Amino acid sequence: MQFCILQSDAMERDMSKIFCSTHEHRSGIVWCMECEKILCTKCRQRHDKALAEHTSMGLSEYVQFPKCALAMHNLCESHDQQLEMFCQDHNTPCCMKCYKNDHELCKEVSFLQTFVKDFKQTTPLIDLMHKVQELSHILESLIKDTNKNCENLYSRKSSILREIANLRQSLNEHFDKLEKEIVEDLNVKYSEARRNTNEQISLLGDKNVELKRIDMDLSFLNQYATDLQAFLGVRILSKQVEDDQMDLQSLQKDKKICEVDLELTMGPKFLSILKEVKSLGTISIQSKPNNSIIPTEKKTRMITQLNLKRRKYIKIKSKQNMVITGCAILPGLQTVFADFQNSLLVIHNIDGTHNRNIKLCGQPSDMAVVADYMIVVTLWSLNVFVVLDLREDKEIRKVQMKENCYSVDFCNDKILVSFEKSKIVHIMDIFGNVSRNIQIPTPNLSYVVQKENMLLCSNRNENKVTCFTEFGKLSWTFQHELLSEPHQIAIDSNRFLYVTCHGSDTVMAICSDGQSSKILLDSDDGIINPSALHIHKDILLVCNSLSGDAHLYDIICDQ
């Protein structure tokens, strides 16, 4: 497919010179994203009658559309047939001829539609947008640091000049010539250092501009592209982002991104033997590595590689008829449990022995770790959450809410609270100041946790786990025959979700895209009506609701 466009740069195209794909002498007015054609007025009239469901955009949006998406077509380049399959083994889309000729023996081949359906709402596009924004933030930080370095160089130069002047005052005219030479050397080295930092700023600026372009392309893909175009475009943009990321890592490794300084080294004998002194010192450029961390790409783990190794069994020492609704792992591997029925926090030592109980003023429904020994606990019966310092067993703050507080999570220095009968999730600080509310388009939420820009919700009434964007838009829904009465959710460093299934006596792991799962624990492992769980680093704590049994496991993800 070729378009009649006179200029290749999308931002510089003259819309008056964009012509209809069928009638090259007629000016185009819209672009059909499914047909991948520019339509004139007459073509559009016929097109809209026959293909009213197709999506089109005006030329003002078209000229800003990412070039990577324009270069992608629905037809196979080799056979000019519709792309229908996707081979995961080779990470490539293919037509039926390609499939029969080259991919029929591949193990992971599926219909392309299963990958591109609602693609813009799924994890790869969101993750890439997050990665671009993260890298852009790092670049902006590097530019800011390097600009500050330029200012510090000037201050350092002034400081060295003062040192030279102070020394000069104690010496006689014999040092006039030497002073002139050292100042000239300083100026030469300062100019060289400035050139170095200016080159860094220029290099980093170019990278930042490129990332902002990719970010803009992603935004347009997300807003205007078809799912297929978004899917194909993200593959290209992902490669560009990975290349930029590797370039930055290479530059940092080769010390081409570094802090530049000026240093004065004084001659060791000039104070005692004036006649032998030939120089006051030397000026050198000192390069220190920049401490900004450029993230490396994590190796993707398969859920089949995920296993648990039992570390310890804990018998929770609470009162009779306990109902455990929350748990946490503290520094030093102390454990704390929330007993809803008896309004208690129960704390155990690293060896599993009982430490103490803390009486609460209401029934705790959930808890989250805020700092080393600071936790936030929702008190369901009182419509409040409290912030506790467990080093002194002291209540730091109590925040009154309007509804029954149910689940709580702590992420990005913010407390996330959900309510028993509400679709609203509050994001707030520890003082209770609400920064934003998120409307979740589903009732009957059980527990809600946040990971980066995604919200993960369990729904025990409908036996499902759902994932929403930070704006409350549904990303995916997971259901399974053993996902019965799902309760609490936790997320590990590999972004696997762990869910307690109260109705099926299991603990289940789910991939971050909601596409696959694995049963990790069941009744044979002592899991009976599990309710609460918590992950600290690579350690999993799981609690039964009524029996007072808790288990610690090491999370192992085999290579």
CATH of the domain at 439: 2.120.10.30
Instruction: Give me 485's structure tokens.
Output: 């009465």
- Give which of 67, 123, 68, 119 is closest to 233, Cα–Cα: 68
Residues 332 and 472 in one domain: yes
Q: Which residues, other chains included, contact 105 with Cβ-Cβ below 8 Å and sequence gap of 6+?
A: none
Alpha-carbon span 251 to 231, nearest angstrom: 30
Q: Is residue 537 part of a domain?
A: yes
Sign of CA dihedral 366, 415, 128, 251: negative
Q: How many helices (H) and strands (E) does the chain have?
A: 8, 32
Instruction: Give me 351's structure tokens.
Output: 């060896």
- Give which of 339, 337, 335 is closest to 362, Cα–Cα: 339
Beta-sheet pairing, 306-315 with 549-557: antiparallel
- Give which of 245, 361, 260, 226 is closest to 293, Cα–Cα: 245
Residues 43 and 102 in one domain: no
Q: Tokens 């022995």: give the residue.
A: 353
Burial class (CB within 10 angstroms; exposed 0-12, middle 13-18, buried 19+) of 398 = middle
Residues 233 and 317 in one domain: no
Q: Is residue 110 part of a domain?
A: yes
pLDDT in 10s for each residue of the chain, 559 residues: 333 333 344 444 466 678 888 888 888 888 887 777 888 888 988 888 778 778 778 877 777 776 666 555 677 888 888 888 888 888 888 999 998 988 888 888 888 887 776 666 556 676 777 788 888 888 888 888 889 888 888 888 998 888 888 877 776 666 677 778 888 888 998 998 888 888 888 888 888 888 888 889 888 888 888 888 888 888 888 888 888 888 888 888 877 788 888 888 776 666 566 566 677 778 888 877 776 666 666 566 788 889 999 999 999 998 888 999 999 999 888 999 999 999 999 999 989 999 999 999 999 999 999 988 899 999 988 989 999 999 999 999 999 888 888 899 998 888 999 887 777 888 888 888 888 888 887 767 788 998 877 889 998 889 999 998 887 888 889 999 999 999 999 999 888 999 999 999 999 999 988 888 999 999 999 999 999 999 998 999 999 999 999 999 999 987 6
Residues 405 and 549 in one domain: yes
Residues 83 and 196 in one domain: no
Residues 149 and 105 in one domain: no
**Number of compact structural domains in the chain:** 4
pTM, rounded to two decimals: 0.57
Q: Is residue 200 part of a domain?
A: yes
Q: Using CA atoms in the order 318, 356, 314, 529, what is the torsion angle rounded to 10 degrees?
A: 40
Residues 461 and 497 in one domain: yes
Instruction: Give me 53's structure tokens.
Output: 């469901």
Residues 468 and 549 in one domain: yes
Alpha-carbon span 446 to 398, nearest angstrom: 23
Residues 68 and 84 in one domain: no
Residue 177: HSE in the Cβ half-sphere, 13 Å Cα cutoff: 4
Instruction: Give me 546's structure tokens.
Output: 């009524």
Residues 432 and 412 in one domain: yes
Q: Is residue 423 part of a domain?
A: yes
Cβ–Cβ < 8 Å for 28, 39: yes
Q: Is residue 432 part of a domain?
A: yes
Q: Is residue 297 part of a domain?
A: no
Cβ–Cβ < 8 Å for 17, 63: no
Alpha-carbon span 99 to 437, nearest angstrom: 48
Residues 178 and 251 in one domain: yes
Residues 486 and 430 in one domain: yes
Q: Is residue 10 part of a domain?
A: no
Query: Residue 25 is part of which domain span?
Result: 15-72
Q: Is residue 491 part of a domain?
A: yes
What ranges in 303-406 are assigned the alpha helix state H?
A: none
The amino acid at 252: Q
